[in-house]
Chain A
Amino acid sequence: MKDPLSLPGRRWLPLLSVASAVTMMAALYAALLYAPTEQSMGDVQRVFYFHLASAWVGFLAFFVAFALGWRHLARPDWRLDAWAAASVEIGVLFCAIVLLSGSLWARPIWNTWWTWDPRLTTTLVLWVYYAGVLALRGSVDEPETRARYTAVLSIIGFINVPLVFMAIRWWRTIHPVILDARGMHLEPAMLVALVAALVAFTLLYITLCLAQVRAAYLRQRVEALQGQMEDRLEKRMARRPGQGAA
């Protein structure tokens, strides 16, 4: 039988790391050199490729945490929690990148760093919420309670993801709509750059998730070993004459 604490991704992690690095280089090349310069915004529009790819990874990460949360509530397993926690952490990272890169793109185009637009506001709420989930995880010591809280909060928090996506369609906004019922409004070369960025960021997400889960497995091994040693020490102390009689 396979050891439940055996480290995952021993073979996959190096391969994924190399694949992520190569696709990221290709994505950079496509975004900065291959894609044409947008006529009205100029070069700053190239932020779009990584901005959208980061948003996609954020959504994907929160969806994975949501799905694993359901699974964990049905059948509790610390490994599901490890994957969900890794996914939430990476989702928060990419959500922060979306907010910051969006702000840097907005300054020259909208002439402001920030505006309380529905898309921006719902994204900020999403980021604050999941950062709060991570903070809460850090404050709960009992592993099962921590996993249950994460599962429930990941399910509740995911309600905001479709809201972020639909915000520019339901409410009046200055945020551009790239994808609608008629398809993508992009030049073919721009679409290639966008697809390259999406592939690169998705691979990076999988790589980071696997690395984070490996760290969780290592932590679990350390805790298991510490537990074994403490048990042995307690037994040895109990066997000593005169101990525990006071």
Chain B
Amino acid sequence: MSNLGYLYAALGVTWGLIALYVYRLYRQQQRLQRELEALQRLHDRQQQEA
């Protein structure tokens, strides 16, 4: 690998890992938001029934 190849590989690793982490965080937030909304609906229905 040329000198520049190592530079690009290092930049790729740096931004690849950051991008992966941001994606994981985004998916996690989406899942939690959906879960919260579903629970909120169920909670409201339970209250109405009571």
Contact = CB atoms under 8 A, between A and B. Distances in A.
Contact of A93 (B21, B36, B46): B21
Given A225-B40, A229-B46, A42 B25 contact: no
Nearest to A106: B6
In this complex, the interface size class of chain A, counting residues with CB under 8 Å from chain B, is 20 to 34
Interface stretch (A63-71, A140-148, A154-162, A213-221): A213-221
A218 B50 contact: no
Interface residues of B, number: 27
Interface in A167-225: 204, 208, 211-212, 214-215, 218-219, 221-222, 225
B18 A215 contact: no
A54 interface: yes
Nearest to B13: A100
A50 B11 CA distance: 8
A225 B3 contact: no
Given A104-B13, A211-B29, A225-B40, A43 B18 contact: no
Interface string B15-46: 00110011001001100110110011011001
A119 interface: no
Closest CB pairs A-B (n = 5): A218-B32, A104-B10, A101-B10, A47-B10, A225-B39
5 contacts: A93-B17, A93-B21, A96-B17, A208-B22, A221-B36
Interface of A: 42-44, 46-47, 50-51, 54, 90, 93, 96-97, 100-101, 104-105, 107-108, 204, 208, 211-212, 214-215, 218-219, 221-222, 225-226, 228-229, 232, 236
